[in-house]
């Protein structure tokens, strides 16, 4: 029997089938992200901490976790060869639109799980950062060279890092649990950091979830840092008086100990 609308129904069915997976993902979408130890307090004995990020994602998705501070303006000194012989400061490098802190973790190597376009779109990976960055240099070639130097400089002080294959995955009740425990470098200055988790399928980001990490100075550390910034004159005078006192004090102690024998 031939139904007059057979073709139409077939088309609808086809459309439904092809959209189903997408609908299904949306319906099951439950990427979650939670940063534990998300409030890091910095006192005198602070030597870095640990941060763990965990959550649930769809089975079979790859994950990229980005921890970054807000984009900022950064000033650095450039070294170069002068007269073909001597290394010295040759000017300032100004870098705009890049975070001071940037770390990436992923289930596999970035290039194996996510397309270049998506990386650029979501600011994942150093090439994507370079794309966004604005440097005070004349040519693209120069930009590329100095951005690489910038990344080396940041990596050297543990502020930039890209790690892959260090997210632990486990299946539970048909869902995928992910977990990562990472050392938080003491070089990362106080401030707010955003943790963004990207769920990736077939090279595309299908979902994101965010969380925060806050690093804050407390107690005397905070008092000293605040005073140094907001009351430089008094801070300077106190520093000088303390140094004078210490110098005299040690002088007196030595005089006594010398007089003793």
Q: At closest approach, how far in Å is the CB of 234 from another protein?
A: 9
Task: Choose between 105 and 150: whose C-beta lies nearer to another protein.
Answer: 150
Q: At closest approach, how far in Å is the CB of 230 from another protein?
A: 9
Which residue among 12, 22, 29, 82 contacts another protein (CB under 8 A)?
Answer: 82
Q: At closest approach, how far in Å is the CB of 186 from another protein?
A: 4
Residue 98 three-state SS: strand
Number of H helices, E strands in the chain: 7, 13
Handedness of CA 57, 58, 60, 64 (dihedral sign): negative
Distance, first Cα to last Cα, the chain: 122
Q: At closest approach, how far in Å is the CB of 38 from another protein?
A: 20
Q: Is 96 in the site for another protein (CB under 8 A)?
A: no
Which residue among 40, 93, 159, 197 contacts another protein (CB under 8 A)?
Answer: 93
Give CA–CA dist 148/78, Å, rounded.
13
Q: Which stretch binds another protein (CB under 8 A): 5-13, 18-26, 52-60, 87-95?
A: 87-95
Q: At closest approach, how far in Å is the CB of 32 from another protein?
A: 32
Q: Which of residues 100-159 bind another protein (CB under 8 A)?
A: 146, 149-150, 152-153, 156-157
Give yes or no for a contact between 211 and 195, defined as CB atoms under 8 angstroms apart: yes
Measured at the CA of 98, the angle between CA 92 and CA 100, to 5 degrees, comes to 85
Number of residues forming the site for another protein (CB under 8 A): 61
Q: At closest approach, how far in Å is the CB of 91 from another protein?
A: 10
Q: Is 244 in the site for another protein (CB under 8 A)?
A: yes
Q: Which of residues 23-52 bind another protein (CB under 8 A)?
A: 42-48
Q: Is 75 exposed, middle or buried (0-12, 13-18, 19+ CB in 10 A)?
A: exposed
How many other CB atoms sit within 10 Å of the CB of residue 120? 16
Q: At closest approach, how far in Å is the CB of 46 from another protein?
A: 4
Phi, psi of 143 (to 5 degrees): -60, -45
Q: Which long-range contacts (CB under 8 A, 24 or more apart) does 110-117 make?
A: 110/64, 110/162, 110/164, 113/62, 113/64, 113/200, 113/203, 114/62, 114/64, 114/198, 114/200, 114/203, 114/204, 114/205, 115/203, 115/204
Q: Which stretch binds another protein (CB under 8 A): 6-14, 123-131, 161-169, 240-248?
A: 240-248
Task: Choose between 5 and 44: whose C-beta lies nearer to another protein.
Answer: 44
Give yes or no for a contact between 40 and 213, defined as CB atoms under 8 angstroms apart: yes
Tell me which residues touch another protein (CB under 8 A).
Answer: 42-48, 75-80, 82-83, 85-89, 92-93, 146, 149-150, 152-153, 156-157, 186-187, 189-190, 217, 220-222, 224-225, 228-229, 232-233, 235-240, 242-244, 246-251, 254-255, 258
């Amino acid at each position: 029997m031939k139904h007059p609308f057979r073709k139409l129904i077939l088309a609808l069915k086809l459309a439904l089938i092809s959209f189903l997976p997408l609908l299904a993902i949306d319906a099951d979408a439950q990427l979650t992200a939670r940063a534990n130890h998300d409030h890091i307090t910095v006192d005198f004995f602070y030597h870095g901490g640990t941060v763990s990020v965990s959550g649930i994602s769809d089975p079979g998705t790859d994950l990229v976790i980005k921890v970054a501070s807000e984009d900022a303006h950064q000033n650095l000194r450039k070294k170069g060869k002068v007269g073909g012989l001597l290394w010295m400061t040759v000017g300032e490098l100004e870098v705009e639109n890049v975070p001071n802190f940037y770390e990436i973790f992923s289930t596999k190597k970035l290039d194996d799980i996510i397309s270049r376009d998506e990386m650029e779109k979501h600011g994942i990976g150093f090439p994507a950062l370079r794309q966004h960055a604005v440097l005070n240099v004349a040519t693209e070639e120069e930009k590329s060279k100095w951005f690489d130097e910038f990344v080396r400089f940041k990596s050297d002080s543990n502020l930039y890092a890209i790690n892959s294959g260090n997210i632990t995955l486990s299946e539970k009740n048909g869902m995928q649990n992910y977990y990562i425990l990472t050392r938080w470098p003491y070089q990362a200055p106080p401030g707010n950091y955003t943790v963004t988790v990207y769920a990736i399928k077939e090279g595309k980001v299908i979902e994101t979830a965010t969380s925060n990490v806050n690093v804050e100075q407390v107690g005397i550390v905070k008092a000293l840092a605040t005073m140094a910034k907001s009351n430089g004159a008094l801070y300077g005078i106190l520093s000088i008086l303390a140094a004078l006192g210490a110098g005299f004090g040690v002088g007196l102690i030595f005089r006594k100990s010398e007089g003793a024998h």
